Structure 1
């Protein structure tokens, strides 16, 4: 089976106060992938101004709703435009555009409905040890809670077939959406694979990354969701 055409792939980039890096992130993507949707999630810095002439399709939330809501907005638009594959890609510069093709490949080959990027199967650059510990703990918790045997539960680099993206609805607006997506994969019995990717930890992304308190908040949200659900 031949690889998918870049025109069949739409990349959704949620961004909140990513002014210093967002133009570079989008430029890297647009060199290989013509369909990029940037969702400005009510940024209070100059993100909106910097998105203006990048070549990406820009959608703006009037207020900050959270990354989960930004992803759902972008996914809905990608599907409405006829995307065959939808890729989610963080706006802080941690992800590499060259990893997108590897994510889409197993979907195009019919081997999976969802491809999940894994830094622990791939690699990291500049990853703090404290961050590694938080991610390992979050992964252990989510593997038990979601019932999926995966190595990296909070990686924003993912790919979905159009059918999978249409079936999956993100209701957790904040960062707990990452674990919610895994719960949905299991609930919907979607076929998934993990794909090795590289995550780059820059000074900017480390400054914006989740703290231990954020991780505890995510776990609390997920526990409440399980109790209520």
Structure 2
């Protein structure tokens, strides 16, 4: 990883559920560029909380499992109420997002005065999700665009940069995967300037062993249909 200048005024918000084997490394690597990280533990049953804290993250805990949308809302609220952060970055705990992509997105938000930067794995050909997963995700993106009026290429990528005013506008009520559509809808209504930025999502042996890759994509599609 090529290190970028440290972003002292940006906080990473990481939803966390049963990622003890990887979250420590994810947080430690992120903090080389983003010294401020909050993990929202959604009632993990393993040692995720301890590993995240050892790596230097602030940890906020849910007493019950509420879903990724709820974890994101908790993390955003924590940063907005407890810090004066200028930017908030939503970031996954499983090692699929790259810190250098997040840093480039924050730089772009600053330089272009953007309220939102959405990460997209479909703006170039670096990400290899597999044909079936790609088809499912593309279907979910089309549905999201129909529902929100936005024209995104990857509406369900968890890597996003939100300027403080954009983050303040979010009030997520969808706790499961449909929260991604809700985020796009609410951000679109703000009228703030936005852009998509090409990112490389890493489908690791770990995520494949957990069976996350295709199952999560199907969950996204189903929740988008039901929303």
TM-score under structure 1 normalisation? 0.90
- Higher mean C-alpha deviation, range 156-165 or range 40-49: 40-49
**Aligned mate of 1:82, from 81, 84, 99:** 84
1:57-206 superposed matches below 5 A: 57-80=58-81, 81-206=83-208
Q: Secondary structure at the match of 1:38?
A: strand
Classify 1:70/1:149 alpha carbon distance in 2 versus 1 (closer, same or farther; 3 Å).
same
- Once residues 122 and 197 of structure 1 are traced to their aligned partners in structure 2, the CA distance between those partners, rounded to angstroms, is 8
The answer for the alignment partner of 2:12 in structure 1 is 11
Deviation of the 1:216 alpha carbon: 4.1
More strand by share: 1
Structure 1 runs, 4 residues or longer, greater than 3 Å off? 122-126
In structure 2, stretches of 5+ residues that fail to align are none
The answer for the alignment partner of 2:56 in structure 1 is 55
RMSD: 1.8
Classify 1:203/1:144 alpha carbon distance in 2 versus 1 (closer, same or farther; 3 Å).
same
The answer for the alignment partner of 1:208 in structure 2 is 212
- Once residues 86 and 17 of structure 1 are traced to their aligned partners in structure 2, the CA distance between those partners, rounded to angstroms, is 23
Deviation of the 1:191 alpha carbon: 1.6
Classify 1:33/1:204 alpha carbon distance in 2 versus 1 (closer, same or farther; 3 Å).
same
- Once residues 171 and 55 of structure 2 are traced to their aligned partners in structure 1, the CA distance between those partners, rounded to angstroms, is 29
Deviation of the 1:219 alpha carbon: 2.2
Q: Count how many residue pairs are aligned between Structure 1 and Structure 2.
A: 220
In structure 1, stretches of 5+ residues that fail to align are 223-229
TM-score under structure 2 normalisation? 0.90
The answer for the alignment partner of 1:24 in structure 2 is 25
Deviation of the 1:125 alpha carbon: 4.3
Q: Secondary structure at the match of 1:13?
A: strand
- Once residues 213 and 118 of structure 1 are traced to their aligned partners in structure 2, the CA distance between those partners, rounded to angstroms, is 18
The answer for the alignment partner of 1:39 in structure 2 is 40
